[in-house]
């Protein structure tokens, strides 16, 4: 059974493009690593297109970017997870120098598992939104994403 968990819509004081540029290259996690609670996440590893971590009571979780729709959406798919899941970040402009952000997780959960993980997943997505909203996107310059050579396949419908 497919279940969606959505964060509340967050206002960010930076342009949609600046936020997209920062979040679409996972190497930029290094710039916010100190905001991630060590008691919640261990073994954080990342490169331009993927991130993995150890989460208590869950184990190793790895996500890969599967689609980028500049400047509005970044879609991820779990490559290692206890349950199949997708995650995406949606950005909408609010004028020239602000935007709105919403995070969504879609997971394949049976009713028993859903009852166990519903509250932690909802709390987790809100905490993730807190961290992403707190970044000062205007104070740091994101790492530029090099153009792809056309051989990467990023198209996948979630």
Q: CA 80 to CA 118: how far, in whole Å?
A: 19
Q: CA 102 to CA 90: how far, in whole Å?
A: 5
pLDDT (tens digit, 0 to 9) for every residue of the chain, 158 residues total? 899 999 999 999 999 999 999 999 999 888 777 777 676 667 889 999 999 988 777 788 899 999 999 999 999 999 999 889 999 999 999 999 999 999 999 999 999 989 888 888 898 899 889 989 988 888 766 665 444 443 333 333 33
Model-level pTM greater than 0.85?
no
Sign of the CA dihedral running 66, 46, 133, 140? negative
Token couple for 81 = 């997870």
Closest CA to 1 of 103, 80, 114: 114
């Amino acid at each position: 059974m497919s279940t969606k968990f959505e964060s509340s819509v967050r206002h960010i004081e930076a342009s949609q493009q600046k936020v997209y540029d920062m979040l679409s290259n996972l190497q930029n996690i290094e710039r916010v690593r100190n905001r991630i609670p060590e008691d919640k996440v261990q073994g954080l590893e990342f490169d331009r297109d993927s991130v993995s971590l150890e989460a208590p009571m869950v184990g190793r979780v790895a996500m890969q970017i599967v689609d980028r729709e500049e400047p509005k959406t970044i879609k991820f798919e779990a490559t290692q997870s206890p349950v199949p899941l997708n995650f995406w970040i949606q950005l909408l402009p609010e004028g020239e120098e602000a935007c709105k952000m919403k995070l969504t997780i879609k997971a394949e959960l049976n009713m028993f598992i859903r009852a166990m993980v519903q509250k932690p997943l909802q709390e987790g997505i809100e905490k993730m939104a807190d961290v992403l909203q707190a970044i000062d996107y205007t104070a740091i310059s994101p790492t530029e994403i090099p153009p792809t050579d056309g051989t990467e396949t990023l198209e996948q419908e979630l």
